[in-house]
Amino acid sequence: MPRILVSEELAESGLAKMRAAGHDVDVRVGLSPEQLREAIKGAHALVVRSATDVDDALLAAGTDLVVVGRAGVGLDNVDIEAATRRGVMVANAPESNIVSAAEHTMAMLLAVARNVPQAHAALVQGRWERSKWEGVELFDKVLGVAGLGRIGKLVAQRAAAFGMRIMAYDPFVSEERAKAMNIELVDLDTLIEKSDFLTIHLPKTKETIGLIDADAMKRAKDSLRIINVARGGIVDEADLADAVKNGVIAGAALDVFSKEPMTDSPLFGIDGIVVTPHLGASTTEAQDRAGEREVDLVGDVVAGAVLGLGGAGAEVR
């Protein structure tokens, strides 16, 4: 019986489907890296979300491993090169949480524009601070979208419904495609300089880590508000805290951090900064879709039924 190790919370419907298919489903949540390397021995598949670091040491310990399934979009927590060397396929669920992530981006956009969390916190503590938390409208503001992939495109569509003017930076998107979406395509410097709100939808790579730093924020309007529901570390958190505290920019809303879980940060407690604990994909619907997708992919790979989906280490879509 194929053994599938699940290292993070997964929708119960997905777990039930794997068990119904005859797999030995071993759920081990909250293990240390050392414990996980021990637990992976004898497993044919590993299913993770974003918190498990699937590095070469873990892959080396999984001598029977055939596939790593990422229940979600990003693969920056999986060492694809190491998986390829070891003949382990990597499969993700790129469409599973894009609506949830786009909706959370809009929630963060509205929250930082209207100071919703700060006003809520003040009121439940007995302070009626109506004038203190005056915000700004989205209407007729420039939304800069850094990355016009699946999620960035959905955010642009939703923001347009609020009457926002959309600009975007994406070196992989043509002028024709951007025009078809009624989006002005610009370079990154122009995007930073002209945006009233800047939302990040880029992958985390060596090139994008620290991309939005103190120098970038100094070029922005002092009314800029930055939203990041993509990957932690793309926005330099120390620089961001300083920029908001010193009035270089107006605010920010972050759902992701350079290290997670993050419980102590210079960002916390600063007026104008909204934070959530990586909730972008945390909806019932997104988790059900991700779980179902990974169940099908992982089950097929383990059973040897995947044909024409790429070689070992390939990202399966």
Q: Cis peptide before 261, with omega less than 30 degrees from 0?
A: yes
For residue 43, what pLDDT band results from cuts at 50, 70 and 90? very high
Instruction: Give the residue, 120 or 72, on which the prediction is more confident.
Output: 120
Q: What are phi and psi of 246, to 5 degrees?
A: -95, 5
- For residue 251, pLDDT beyond 50: yes
pLDDT value at position 22?
Answer: 87
Q: What is the pLDDT of residues 186-210, one digit of tens each?
A: 999 999 999 999 999 999 999 999 9
**Which tokens belong to 25?**
């489903």
% of the chain residues with pLDDT over 90? 80
What mean pLDDT do residues 23-34 have?
95
- Amino acid letter at 198? L
Residue found by looking up tokens 């570390």 in the block: 233
Which has more pLDDT, 314 or 51?
Answer: 51
Per-residue confidence (pLDDT) for residue 311, from 0 to 100 = 40
**Please, is 81 exposed, middle or buried when counting C-beta atoms within 10 Å of its C-beta (0-12, 13-18, 19+)?**
exposed
Q: Are strands 142-146 and 197-200 parallel, antiparallel or unpaired?
A: parallel
pLDDT range class, residue 315, cuts 50, 70, 90: very low
Find the length of the chain. 317
Residue 34's pLDDT is what?
98
272-to-81, 192, 223, 245 alpha-carbon distances in Å: 40, 19, 11, 9
Residue 312: pLDDT over 60: no
Largest CA distance in the chain: 64
The answer to whether the CB of 74 falls within 8 A of the CB of 54 is: no
Burial 244-276 (b: 16+ CB within 10 A, else e): beeebbbbbbbbbbbeeebeebebeebebbbbb
Reduce the DSSP state of residue 20 to 3 states and report it.
helix
pTM of this structure:
0.85
Sign, Cα dihedral of 307, 294, 257, 214: positive
Active site positions, annotated: 231, 260, 278
CA-nearest of 268, 264, 258 to 236 is 258
For the segment 138-175, what is each residue's pLDDT rounded down to a tens digit?
999 999 999 999 999 999 999 999 999 999 999 999 99
- What's the whole-number mean pLDDT along residues 213-220? 99
Domains (ranges, CATH) in the chain? 3-96+284-316 (3.40.50.720), 98-275 (3.40.50.720)
Average pLDDT, the chain: 93
pLDDT class for 317, splitting at 50, 70, 90?
very low
* Token duo for residue 34: 């050392």
Percent of the chain with pLDDT over 70: 96
Give the C-alpha distances (Å, rounded to integers) separating 197 from 96, 246, 264, 306.
Answer: 26, 18, 25, 43
Which of 227, 157, 155 is CA-nearest to residue 197?
227
**Residue spans of beta strands (DSSP E) within the chain:** 3-6, 24-27, 45-48, 67-70, 89-92, 142-146, 165-169, 184-185, 197-200, 225-228, 251-254, 273-275, 315-316
Asked if residue 67 lies in contact with residue 91, where contact means CB atoms within 8 angstroms, the answer is yes
What's the average model confidence in pLDDT over 69-74? 86
pLDDT of the residue at 14 = 84
pLDDT of 17: 86
How far is it, in rounded angstroms, from Cα 149 to Cα 87?
Answer: 29
Query: CB burial class (10 A; 0-12, 13-18, 19+) of residue 8?
Result: middle
